[in-house]
């Protein structure tokens, strides 16, 4: 839940963990795939991620957890590339190398992702934020990332990447 500074202070006094929003963007692209500049490039992901990194004053390598929109496997791969985690055409190698596992350099979809939840259209962005909160606050149970993540990025799509909402979250001290 988003709260004011006063409410955040009360929550903190009660010992509840907090997460801060450092960046939040929305970006769009053509809805029609045949109208896009390149079919295998998610331009809205690229633009949204770039602006979110600028807002948060960080770089892709500062992200400890990525909740990508994995409704289709190819979207995970294309998102990793467009968000700056892999070179174009090389996103799949992060899976082959184990870099996106819960023990990897950039864990993604640590609780099964959207496909693991049955892709609840309309609720997917909320689910991603809940998972990022759990990971950042150390309350993810058996799926907890061991590397103690501090910064997470969530990215939710509409219309096969025509609308992309990106959030960068940080564990509050």
pLDDT at 163: 83
CATH for 21-171, options being 3.40.50.620, 2.40.40.20, 3.20.20.70, 3.40.47.10 = 3.40.47.10
Tens of each residue's pLDDT in the chain, 173 residues:
567 778 877 877 787 788 999 999 998 777 777 777 776 678 888 999 999 999 999 999 999 999 998 888 888 999 999 999 999 999 999 999 999 999 999 999 998 888 888 877 777 888 899 999 999 999 999 999 999 999 999 999 887 777 899 999 999 87
Rounded to two decimals, what is the model's pTM? 0.89
Q: State both tokens at 136.
A: 């950042």
The confidence score (pLDDT) of residue 17 equals 81
* All structural domains of the chain with their residue ranges: 21-171
């Amino acid at each position: 839940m988003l709260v004011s500074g006063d409410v955040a202070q009360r929550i903190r006094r009660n010992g509840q963990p907090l997460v801060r929003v450092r960046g939040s963007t929305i970006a769009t692209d053509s809805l029609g795939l045949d109208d896009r500049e390149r079919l295998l490039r998610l331009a809205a992901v690229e633009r949204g991620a770039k602006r979110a990194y600028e807002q948060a004053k960080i770089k892709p390598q500062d992200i400890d957890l990525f909740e990508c929109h994995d409704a289709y496997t190819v979207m995970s791969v294309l998102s990793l590339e467009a968000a700056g985690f892999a070179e174009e055409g090389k996103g799949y190698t992060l899976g082959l190398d184990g870099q996106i596992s819960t023990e990897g350099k950039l864990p993604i979809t640590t609780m099964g992702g959207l496909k693991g939840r049955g892709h609840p259209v309309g609720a997917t962005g909320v689910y991603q934020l809940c998972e990022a909160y759990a990971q950042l606050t150390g309350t993810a149970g058996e799926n907890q990332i061991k590397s103690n993540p501090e910064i997470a990025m969530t990215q939710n799509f509409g219309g096969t990447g025509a609308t992309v909402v990106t959030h960068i979250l940080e564990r509050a001290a």
